[in-house]
Structure 1
C-alpha cells in the first residue's frame, strides 16, 4: 500500500478543513495575543451542488471526451497507484546474477526452467529469447521496443490525469463567471447586503476546481509517473543483464555493472554476499 500518498492526501484534507472550521487571530501587543474560534457551521458555506456539478461533471466530461478508451480504467489506475513498490531493482539484479551462474555452468538451454517460473512476462520473454538462440541485436531490439511501447502507454494514462488537472481550474473559472453573470443580472434593485453571499457562492467553483486539480488529479499523475519510472528501470536492468548472460559475462562483474543503474544508497544496500543473503531471508519470511 502506498502509505505516503494516503498520508499526503489526508493531511491536505485535514489542513483544508482546519482552515475552514477554525479561526486563529494574532494581535501583537495585546493580551491574549492569540484568539481561537471554532465554527463547524462554516463548512456549509463551501457546499454548493450547482458548483459541484459544473466543476466535477465538466472535468470528467472533458477527460472522457479526450480519452474515451482510458477513462473506463479509473479503478485500475487507482489500484496501481496505491500498491507498494512492485518493481524492486535489487531483486532483479539477484535473479539475473543467478541466471548468469546457471548459464555459465550448464549453458543457456538450462535457463528455460527458470523462465517458466517467472511471473513477470517481460522477464520470461527476455530469457526465452536467448534460450532460443536469437541474434543478440534482434534480442535487444525486441526488448527495447517493448519498453518504449509500454512506457508510451503509461504516459498516455498520465496525460489523461494531467488533462483533468488542467480542466478542473478552467471549469472552476467557468462556474465563477456563471455565478457573477447571474448576480449582475439581478443587481438592479437588489438588496446590497446580499452581494457578499452571492459573491462567495460564485467563488466556490474556483475553490472546487483548484482542489480537484491539485489534491486529486496532480498526485495521481505524479504517482503513476513514478510507477512507470520504476518499471522502466527494472526492464532496462533486465535487458542489460540478459544481453550480458548471452555473451557469457562473469556473474560477479555483471552484478557490479547492473548496480550502476541504481543510486548509491541502493548499491550499498544491494552489494555483497551478506546483503544478498539478507534479502533472500527477507523474501522468504
Structure 2
C-alpha cells in the first residue's frame, strides 16, 4: 500500500471533519446525497464525453496504481544488467538467452535480444527511445484525465448550486418556506463537494501519476544506457559503475523532470555518465604508494 497517499487523503478529510464539527451548528447538513450525485455523476459524465471509453475504463485501475506502492528496484535492474553483461563480455550468448527467460522487464529483454541479434546500435537506440517516448505520452494522457476531472468537479458543484437556488426561489414564490433549508443546503454543499474532490482527490492523483511516469522514464533511460554499453562491449564493472552513477543522480533528476529533447540526445547523457564512471573506476584501481 502507498501509505503517503492513503494518509494524505485521510488526513485531509480529518481536517475538514474537525473544522465542520467545531464550527457547524448541524454537521449533518454537510451530508447531502443529491449534491454528491450531481458532482460525481456530472464529473464522470463529462470525463466520458472527453475521453474514449477504453481510456475511461482505466480510471479505477489508475486509482489502484496510486493507492498501491509499485516500487521499482533500480539497483536490482543494475544487477540484472551486470549479470547479462558479464556473460555477454565472455561471448556466452546461450547463457545470456537463458537469463533473459527469468527477467520480467520486457524493456530490458527486448533491448538485449536486439543486441544478441546483432541489430545496429543506432536502430536499437531508436526503438528503445521510441518506446520511452510512447510510454511517457500515454501515461501523461492518463494523468491529464484526472486534471480534467479536477476542472469539471467545481463546475458541476456550481451547477448544483444553481439548481438549488432555482428550486429555492420557486419555493419562495409558492410560499412553501419549510423546504427552503433543504434546497439551500444542496445549493451550497455541491460547491463544497466539487472543491473538495478537485483539490483533495483528483489533482493529487494526477500529480502522483506524473511523478510515477518521471521515475519510470528515468529507469528506462538507465536501462537503455546499460544496453548501449553492452552493445559497445564495455566491461561489466564499467557498466555497473556507470549505472550506479546514474542511480546516484536519480533523485535529483526526478526533481528536474526529464525533457523530451534530452531523450533526443541520449549520447550526451551517456557521455556524462561515462565520464563519472571513468573517474570512479580510476579511483578504484589507483595504485597504492610505493613503500
TM-score by length of 1: 0.80
Structure 2 CA distance for partners of 1:200 and 1:156, relative to 1, 3 Å? same
Tell me whether 253-262 or 68-77 shows the greater mean CA deviation.
Answer: 253-262
* Structure 2 CA distance for partners of 1:19 and 1:90, relative to 1, 3 Å: same
Deviation at 1:107, TM superposition (A): 4.5
2:40 is the counterpart of 1:51: no
CA distance in 2, matches of 1:207, 1:180: 15
Alignment CA distance shift 1:107-1:218 (3 Å): same
Alpha-carbon distance in structure 2 between the residues aligned to 1:266 and 1:231: 12
After TM superposition, give the deviation of residue 202 of structure 1 in Å: 1.3
Q: Report the alpha carbon displacement of residue 97 of structure 1 after superposing the two structures with TM.
A: 2.0
Q: Identify the range of structure 1 (221-230 vs 195-204) with the bigger mean alpha-carbon deviation.
A: 195-204
Alignment of 1:106-185 (within 5 A): 106-108=91-93, 110-185=95-170
Structure 2 residue 196 is the aligned partner of structure 1 residue 208: no
Q: How much is the aligned-residue C-alpha RMSD, in angstroms? A: 2.6
Q: How does 1:242-261 map to 2 (within 5 A)?
A: 242-261=227-246
Distance 1:231 1:98 in 2: 22
Equivalence for 2:257: none
C-alpha displacement of 1:92: 1.4
Q: Distance in 1 between matches of 2:174 and 2:68?
A: 58
Shift of 1:108: 4.7
Cα distance in 1 between the residues matched to 2:152 and 2:171: 29
Contact 1:173/1:205 (CA < 8 Å) preserved in 2?
A: yes
Does the 8 Å contact 1:63/1:71 carry over to 2?
yes
Secondary structure of 1:254's counterpart equals: helix
List alignment gaps of at least 5 residues for structure 2.
253-276, 281-291
* Residue pair 1:59, 1:171 contacting (<8 A) in 2 also: yes
> Is it true that 1:14 corresponds to 2:14 in the alignment?
yes
Contact 1:173 1:206 in 2 (8 A): yes
Q: How many Å separate the matches in 2 of 1:228 and 1:76? A: 15
2:50 equivalent in structure 1: 66
* Separation of aligned partners in 1, 2:18 and 2:158: 25
Deviation of 1:251 after TM superposition, in Å, equals: 2.4
Q: Provide the C-alpha distance between the structure 1 equivalents of 2:90 and 2:44, rounded to a whole number of angstroms.
A: 57
Contact 1:92 1:237 in 2 (8 A): no
Report how far residue 191 of structure 1 moved: 8.0
Q: Offset of 1:263 from its aligned partner?
A: 4.4
Q: Secondary structure at the match of 1:261?
A: helix
Q: Give the Cα separation in 2 of the matches to 1:108 and 1:165.
A: 52
Could you tell me whether the CA contact under 8 Å between 2:171 and 2:177 is conserved in 1?
no
Aligned 1:214-229 pairs, distance under 5 A = 214-229=199-214
| TM-score, normalisation: structure 2 | 0.78
